[in-house]
């Protein structure tokens, strides 16, 4: 068997067949293939093919921005073996704080409004992430339970700070100069999300940060024996996730010039779904940033496509739930396959 062949069941495959086999068994390939098929499907059945219109494509990119930021956050945490299901609540609270700051700073000009509300949203997200990290590392509470508790706490704080109603009266200029602004036809929020994704991709693949993150997810005890301060790194990861949720909250307030406290309840589940179906393992140790991008696009295409063809938004919740079940099932199959290949060597 030469270096250009691959073993499969004891048989040697030619190099060309080996590459084809890798492509056809690559999770990321199928995610993007499904994305393309869904675009074709929704375009064909939408009235006047409005799904593929320029306006709707911009809507798709805008919707993808927030989902991609939360997806990066959850992918990092899943890669290290942790969860954060309070990201949606963090986004809500961050948008409330950003909205209130924007209203207070309105007399000082749009530049001050943008900077002040963005900083406020990020700091809010960082604080929530810090609390999550400290609960997990200092109190030794399972991250699923810790962030479930924070989901309720942060949502409650958002209601208290906003007075139980959505924040309105946000300067329209914030929406015009940021939320719906485009760069070469691409929505500015999506540009920011893609830049964050690119930075995350490079950090995960080419830096010690990424190596340590995956090491913790693969085996926490082994990472600690190797000298890693896992508690400090986990707190940092939760803060990064919180900061990303804060940016997403800022983007949300700039897009709609009002908060949506009752919304975003499914954001964390959608982010987990996008990450897992894109190739990130729930058990940790493996993160696919390219697959995450495909997973986020898939979720947005489904949500938008159902609306365009006139399907009730209630069905979107069912679709997200079904896809999550499928994603977890695929995740279990991948782990089983990994074990089989490990013990067959």
- Confidence (pLDDT) at 260: 87
- Confidence (pLDDT) at 23: 60
∠ CA 176-187-88, nearest 5°, is: 90
- Confidence (pLDDT) at 16: 57
* Spatial distance between the Cα atoms of 250 and 121, rounded to a whole number of angstroms: 6
- Confidence (pLDDT) at 333: 66
* Cβ atoms < 10 Å from Cβ of 24: 9
**Contact (Cβ atoms closer than 8 angstroms) between residue 197 and residue 64:** no
Q: Minimal CA–CA distance to 257: which of 179, 164, 192?
A: 179
* Spatial distance between the Cα atoms of 295 and 32, rounded to a whole number of angstroms: 8
* Spatial distance between the Cα atoms of 18 and 341, rounded to a whole number of angstroms: 17
The pLDDT averaged over each successive group of 10 residues in the chain (345 residues) is 38 57 68 88 82 86 93 96 95 96 95 96 98 97 96 95 91 91 92 97 94 94 93 97 97 91 84 89 90 91 83 73 73 57 41
Q: Minimal CA–CA distance to 158: which of 262, 252, 83, 293?
A: 262
Q: Minimal CA–CA distance to 87: which of 166, 137, 142, 143?
A: 143
Predicted TM-score (pTM) of the model is 0.88
């Amino acid at each position: 068997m030469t270096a250009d062949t691959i073993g499969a069941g004891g048989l040697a495959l030619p190099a060309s067949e080996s590459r084809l086999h890798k492509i056809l068994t690559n999770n990321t390939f199928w995610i993007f293939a499904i994305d393309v098929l869904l675009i074709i499907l929704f375009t064909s059945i939408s009235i006047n093919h409005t799904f593929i219109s320029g306006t709707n494509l911009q809507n798709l990119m805008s919707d993808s921005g927030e989902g991609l930021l939360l997806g990066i956050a959850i992918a990092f945490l899943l890669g290290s073996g942790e969860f954060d299901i309070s990201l949606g609540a963090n986004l809500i609270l961050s948008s409330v704080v950003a909205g209130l700051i924007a209203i207070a700073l309105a007399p000082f000009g749009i530049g001050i409004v943008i900077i002040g509300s963005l900083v406020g949203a990020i700091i809010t997200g960082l604080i929530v992430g810090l609390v999550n990290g400290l609960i997990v590392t200092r109190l030794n509470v399972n991250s699923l339970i810790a962030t479930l508790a924070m989901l309720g706490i942060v949502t409650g704080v958002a209601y208290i700070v906003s007075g139980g109603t959505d924040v309105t009266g946000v300067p329209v200029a914030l929406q015009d100069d940021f939320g719906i602004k485009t760069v070469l036809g691409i929505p500015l929020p999506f540009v920011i999300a893609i830049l964050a994704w690119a930075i995350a991709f490079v950090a995960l693949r080419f830096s010690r940060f990424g190596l340590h993150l995956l090491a913790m997810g693969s085996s926490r005890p082994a990472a600690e024996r190797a000298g890693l301060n896992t508690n400090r790194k986990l707190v940092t990861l939760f803060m990064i996730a919180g900061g990303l949720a804060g940016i997403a909250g800022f983007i949300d307030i700039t897009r709609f010039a009002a908060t949506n406290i009752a919304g975003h309840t499914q954001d964390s589940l959608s982010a987990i779904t996008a990450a897992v179906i894109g190739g990130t393992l729930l058990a940790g140790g493996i993160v696919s940033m390219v697959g995450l991008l495909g997973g986020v696009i898939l979720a947005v295409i489904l949500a938008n496509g159902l609306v365009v063809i006139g399907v009730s938004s209630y069905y979107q919740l069912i679709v997200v739930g079904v896809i999550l079940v499928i994603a977890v099932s695929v995740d279990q199959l991948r782990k089983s396959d990994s074990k089989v290949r490990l013990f067959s060597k």
